[in-house]
Every structure is written in structure tokens, then in C-alpha cells.
Amino acid sequence: MRASRLLSLLLLLQNRGRMTAQQLASELEVSVRTIYRDVEALSAAGIPLYGDAGHAGGYQLLGGYRTRLTGLTVAEAEALFLSGLPGPAAELGLGSVLAAATLKLQAALPAPLRGNADRLVERF
């Protein structure tokens, strides 16, 4: 599960830019301390992460770093059919799978299309 969380953390920073440890912890449903450990592990693995302390701080990827690790699993692909129904997906135990699939899809899209996808998600 940790590898999946590390990938999700990386994709969140790639898609959303700067995020605080608290925002990441809330999104990934873990403690802030777990985020600190995960960020340290990603940095040790050579991922160019930068962290600013303080009120306006947060973590971000340096230099436009982008990962190509965006392959979908079978469960994530199936969860896409429920993408407009986050409540039922969560009730079926697919909430985290749906969130991971959405992150991977956003990461796979070129920047102009990602903006369109974000607007569609907001609308529906």
C-alpha cells in the first residue's frame, strides 16, 4: 500500500503544484507524520521535491519534474465507470481506487487538456 501512496503523493504534487503536508495528509487519508516520512522517502529515491516551512509553505516538485508512472490497474479502469458517482463508489469500497485512477488520468493528459478535464470535474 505504501508504494501506491507514494505514487499518489507524487501525482498529486505533479497535478496540483504546491501542497501542504496537511492537504496531502487529508487527500491521502494518512497522518501528517506519514506524509513527512513519504516525502523523505521520495527525496531519498531521487525525486526532486522542495519543501518550504511556515504558513505559506508546502511541498512541490522542482523544475517541472513529471513522472511517466501513470498506468491504470484493472480495478482503477473499472472504477472509471463510477467516476460521476463518488458516493456510491465509496460505499462499494472503491473510493480510494477512484481517486487514484482520477490522478493517473489527470497526470497522463497534456496541460491544455488537463484544464478542460478539471472544468468538467467541477461541473459534474
What is 2-61's CATH number? 1.10.10.10
How confident is the model over 85-114, as pLDDT tens digits? 667 777 888 788 878 877 877 776 667 766
Domain ranges of the chain: 2-61, 74-117
How far is residue 79's CA from residue 85's CA, in Å, rounded to a whole number?
10
How big is the CA angle at 49 (ends 26 and 77), to the nearest 5 degrees? 55
The predicted pLDDT at position 9 comes to 93
How confident is the model over 23-80, as pLDDT tens digits? 999 999 999 999 999 999 999 988 999 888 888 789 999 987 877 665 666 566 555 5
Name, in order, each residue with C-beta under 8 angstroms of 53's C-beta and a sequence gap of 6 or more. Answer: none
How far is residue 65's CA from residue 90's CA, in Å, rounded to a whole number?
31
The predicted pLDDT at position 76 comes to 66
Instruction: Indicate whether 81 pLDDT > 60.
Output: no
Cell of 105: 488520468
To the question of pTM greater than 0.75 for the whole model, the response is no
